[in-house]
């Protein structure tokens, strides 16, 4: 079945550092890919999405490119802020209704 694998956390970075959170997936067909973010004590917020190969999703300085050849959707940000501290979830949606989430990667940004 479909699955999403994310890099293990926690990831700790200093403010203004470059961020990469790796996400790879296994799926048949052509899934849509998503990054959701969960800030402490809050629910899941959609961060960005891509619906087909080579699409780049972007929002709030975060970017991810749908790479079908490597089945990846890595999240990047050029300069992180303390306020980016959160848990980041990669997810895919295939032909059904359900989102299939990775385990999440916790990010802590220190001043």
Partner 1 sequence: EPEVTQTPSHQVTQMGQEVILRCVPISNHLYFYWYRQILGQKVEFLVSFYNNEISEKSEIFDDQFSVERPDGSNFTLKIRSTKLEDSAMYFCASAGLEETQYFGPGTRLLVL
Residues 39-58 touching partner 1, rule: CB under 8 A, are 42-46, 49
Q: Which of 33, 92, 100, 107 binds partner 1 (CB under 8 A)?
A: 100
- Residue 97 as a binder of partner 1 (CB under 8 A): the answer is yes
Q: Are 36 and 88 in contact (CB under 8 A)?
A: yes
Listed ranges 18-26, 38-46, 59-67, 78-86: which one lies at the site for partner 1 (CB under 8 A): 38-46
Q: How far is CA 62 from CA 18, 20, 39, 66, 99, in A?
A: 11, 10, 15, 14, 21
For residue 7, give the 3-state DSSP assignment.
coil
The first and second tokens of residue 99, run together, are 């989102």
- Residue 7 as a binder of partner 1 (CB under 8 A): the answer is no
Contacting positions for partner 1 (CB under 8 A): 32, 34, 36, 42-46, 49, 89, 91, 93, 96-104
């Amino acid at each position: 079945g479909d699955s999403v694998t994310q890099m293990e956390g926690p990831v700790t970075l200093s403010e203004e550092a470059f961020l990469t959170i790796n996400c790879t997936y296994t799926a048949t067909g052509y899934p849509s890919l998503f990054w959701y973010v969960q800030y402490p004590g809050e629910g899941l917020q959609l961060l960005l999405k891509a619906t087909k190969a080579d699409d780049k999703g972007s929002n709030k300085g975060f970017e991810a490119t749908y790479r079908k050849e490597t089945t990846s959707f890595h999240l990047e940000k050029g300069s992180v802020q303390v306020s980016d501290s959160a848990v980041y979830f990669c997810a895919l949606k295939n032909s059904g209704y359900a989102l299939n989430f990775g385990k999440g990667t916790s990010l802590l940004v220190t001043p």
